Chains A and B, each alone.
Chain A
Amino acid sequence: MNKAVTKEEKAMRRHMGLRATRAISNTVIHILLIVISIVWLIPFIFITLQSFRIENAMPVGYVIPHQWGIDNYINLFKSDFPKWYLNTFIVAVVTALIQTIIVLCMSYTLSRFRFKMRKPLMRFMLILGMFPGMLTMIILYRVLADIGLTQANAVPGLILVYVASSGMGYYVSKGFFDTIPKSLDEAARVDGASRAQVLTRIILPLSKPIVIYTILTAFMAPWGDFVFARYVSFGTSSGMNVAVGMYNWLNNDMITTRYTMFCAGGVIVAIPVAILFMCLQKYYVEGVTGGAVKG
């Protein structure tokens, strides 16, 4: 806490009271935090500024645009970008809903039921998680291709794959369910509730934070996925999501004409996600901290 203490300060400390020492260290920390904040914000400020630069479209060595304008945004909407945006949005919304249901089913079961296969099942999933998921993409792509859910039909294909394995991500919400006293379940069962009613009447109403956390993380993930999405939508612009589409703009042959458009697209993608995230930040923090503590 008392980092960045110079010799002079040490000398001064001996002469000053506790309060003065604290004031100095607090000032130092304030300055440090402001510097950190600036460093963390710089890329976002830069990207926003560059999205309004219209004198040329390639990466340049200065920050402030020489000529301002919204041409990049207009071009953006003339390109395939709106289609990609819609694709991603649909995938994100549907995935968020289904994935949340699956994760909740899984984690509630593993938290509340004591059946014979429970421990082996959890261990099995732990081991499964150690396989690099990258490998399975090849086969998943071929399977999707076999049932016709690639290229132009990439959206349902992506949803299917995202949702299918989501049961493995039960850790955080199981950790949350574990903190709800079991005696509540028992009281409800004595009161005449079936297991299903315990879930709907008691547990779910108490699990608002974790439900929101699950929805939020499930909603955010598809915006950033481009490896698998690129496989699935390979070569077909209408099946791409924003990440795949915009990633291509930074290829060597396109970067000189699309760089500022990439910046504009980045701003448009980031704003709604960031706003949503900021509103639900409280729940996200709760989920993250809980998850880490539980391991």
Chain B
Amino acid sequence: MKTYSELEYLRLSKWQKFWYKFARFFCVVIPNGIKNGVFAIGRFFKKLGLGIAHECKDIVTTFIYGDWKTKVSYLVMGFGCIARGQILRGILFFLFEGIFIAYMILYGGYWLGMLPSLGKLGPAEEYDEVLDTFVVKYHDNSFRILLYGVLTIFFIIAFIYTWRVNIKQNKIAEGIIKSGKKLKSGKDDLRSLVDDNFHKTLLALPLTGIIVFTVLPIIFMILVAFTNYDGTHNGYTNNLFHWVGMDNFNTILSWDVGTGGSVQSYAATFGEILLWTLIWAFFATFTNYFLGMFVAMMINKKGIRFKKGFRTILVLTIAIPQFISLLYVSKMFSLNGIVNGILKDLGWIKDAIDFWGSTANNGLLARVMVIVLNIWIGIPYLMLIATGILMNIPQDLYESSKIDGAGAWKQYTKITLPYMLFITGPYLLTSFTSNMNNFNVIYLLTGGAPTNAAASAASGSVGYTDLLITWLFKITTGAESQYNLASVIGILVFIAVAVISLVVYGVLPSVKNEEDFQ
């Protein structure tokens, strides 16, 4: 596309400028963003490869040029440290090696060996001599094999890393001795844990938690997407599960209308729900954002009294656990709930409105209702944020704009709004993605209702207000418990969130021009 110089750009009309920016965004900014992303990934792998190559080289050269203490350390970890007087380090290295070898012999070998097959022997009826009858006996457990197999791989990586550190330590110690300096004693090591290496001490616990309780499960669930783990293959009590390659992805992304009278394919259902998820996230984010800002501006306006009182009332909704407020509100709008009761008493309606059950227009009423009720949940939060930012806008901007002749509306569009958007850009992005995964509001308000009959036939009980995340939840809890399909959906959600984040993050002004408003 045509690129204008800065001076040429200034002479364009308002509309031309708009179209120019618009076209640039799609023709230049986004492709560049994708290009940069791809390059960044490429650079990452190049760096990784070079790093590993360099490490390998160093391991070999250290062995060749190292003294005998170093060489023994290649087999007996920590030997060099102990031989050179660094007893504490040496013992730790040695203990770690001992534990690792013991674990691998006792357990690790089994788990690792079973990992490719995920179990060979399922439950079977066998003759029990004591009971003198045939009973079902359980053998391999696919779930555990997968879980502990992954854990064992983690452990092996940790061991290789420690082994590498052990070799490096030897090299460094040799260098220090050669230059005639003293090695650090165990006491120095301990002291450095509260000073020089304090960050390692501080990070040890949190990172262990994250690795065991977040990274490990995520890797596990990614792997599950490539198995046939579901209610009928639970890996222990009925059938073992096995690797099935890309089958699950094919199922979710296929347009085939399934067997058994289904009227909608998985892909169509997935697309429908994804579309609603995006629509929901868009409205949930921006209605809250603008209305929250509006409320904050009203409360903060000069001459408004009881500022604190109004703020407190709104904030109260944050304080009350969502499961109470959302469940209660959900029941308020039910068929025999208070809202219908009051409307009937007032004579405004004759029959109760079925807020959550009406399937007219693809459940439009329920969809609008969740967005509106989400405003009720979200405004107080946004009001707080907006208040904080509004107070930070330099007053002289308003004063100078007043002198330049701007009215209240111009002040809003030319000062308040740009400032807010600039500061809260990253926040808007994260709130968009977290709304995509806003389980609580949907699940507590509607539970996904009203039922989408066509989609449900294909994959569990799908409703019109179901987001991907609630659909995923339903798939795992329903009678069929299709963990494999749920994992695929989870991976797709992750990809959607990551792509949106990357693209938006790349074009956010507050990331690019950090100084503009400072």
Which A positions have Cβ atoms within 8 angstroms of B?
Answer: 1-2, 22, 26, 29-30, 32-33, 36-37, 39-41, 43-44, 46-47, 58-63, 102-103, 105-106, 108-109, 112-113, 115, 125, 127-128, 130-136, 138-140, 142-143, 146, 160-161, 163-168, 194-197, 199, 220, 223-224, 226-227, 243, 246-247, 250, 255, 259, 262-263, 266, 269-270, 273-274, 276-278, 281, 284-285, 288-290, 292-293, 295
Contacts and interface: CB of A to CB of B under 8 A. Distances in A.
16 contacts: A1-B298, A2-B409, A36-B310, A46-B332, A58-B336, A132-B468, A132-B490, A163-B209, A165-B209, A166-B206, A199-B198, A224-B321, A270-B319, A274-B319, A285-B387, A295-B426
Given A1-B412, A40-B316, A266-B328, A227 B198 contact: no
Interface-centre pick from A115, A281, A295 (highest chain B CB count, 10 A):
A295
Interface of B: 143-144, 147, 194-196, 198-199, 201-203, 205-207, 209-210, 212-218, 220-221, 295, 297-299, 301, 303-305, 310, 312-325, 327-329, 331-332, 334, 336-338, 340-342, 344-345, 376, 380-381, 384-385, 387-389, 392, 408-409, 412, 423-427, 430, 433, 437, 439-440, 443, 468-469, 472-473, 476, 483, 486-487, 490, 493-494, 497-498, 501, 510
Task: Select the residue from B201, B319, B381, B469 with max chain A CB neighbours within 10 A.
Answer: B319
Given A63-B338, A142-B143, A1 B469 contact: no
Given A224-B321, A227-B473, A39 B376 contact: yes
Given A30-B305, A61-B337, A220-B321, A134 B469 contact: yes
A289 B387 contact: yes
By CB atoms of chain B within 10 A, which of A125, A134, A196 has the most? A134
Ranked nearest first, the 5 interchain pairs of A and B with the lowest CB-CB distance are A61-B341, A289-B388, A295-B426, A167-B206, A277-B319
A134 B490 contact: yes
Contacts of A2: 408-409
B214 A61 contact: no
A134 B472 contact: yes
Given A33-B295, A277-B318, 8 more contacts: A32-B298, A40-B313, A113-B198, A125-B210, A135-B472, A194-B194, A246-B323, A246-B324
A161 B331 contact: no
Q: Which of B201, B213, B340, B439 has the most CB of A within 10 A?
A: B213
B323 A243 contact: yes
Contacts of B304: 26, 29-30, 33
Contact of B385 (A26, A142, A199, A289): A289
Contacts of B487: 135
A250 B331 contact: yes
A286 to B, nearest CB: 8
A295 B425 contact: yes
User: Main secondary structure on chain A at its contact with chain B?
Assistant: helix
Given A134-B472, A266-B328, A292 B385 contact: yes
Given A2-B408, A138-B483, A224-B323, A131 B206 contact: no
A58 B334 CA distance: 12
A33 B385 CA distance: 18
Nearest to B146: A139
A163 B213 CA distance: 10
B223 to A, nearest CB: 10
B214 A128 contact: yes
A162 to B, nearest CB: 10
Given A30-B304, A102-B206, A293-B388, A109 B408 contact: no
A47 B328 contact: yes
A70 B458 CA distance: 48
A243 B408 contact: no
B439 A227 contact: yes
A133 B437 CA distance: 9
A136 to B, nearest CB: 4
A139 B388 contact: no
B168 to A, nearest CB: 14
A131 B313 contact: no
Contacts of A139: 147, 216-217, 220-221
Contacts of B298: 1, 29, 32-33
A40 B490 contact: no
B317 A40 contact: yes
A115 B202 CA distance: 13
A217 B380 CA distance: 16
A60 to B, nearest CB: 7
B336 A60 contact: yes
B312 A26 contact: no
B320 A44 contact: yes
Contacts of A130: 433, 494, 497-498, 501
Contacts of A134: 437, 439, 469, 472-473, 490
Given A165-B210, A195-B194, A128 B334 contact: no
Contacts of B412: 1
Nearest to A1: B408
A19 B298 CA distance: 18
A197 B318 CA distance: 36
A270 B341 contact: no
Given A167-B209, A194-B194, A289-B387, A243 B321 contact: yes
Contact of B203 (A103, A109, A138, A224): A109
Given A62-B341, A246-B323, A131 B332 contact: no
Contacts of B472: 132, 134-135
A132 B437 contact: yes
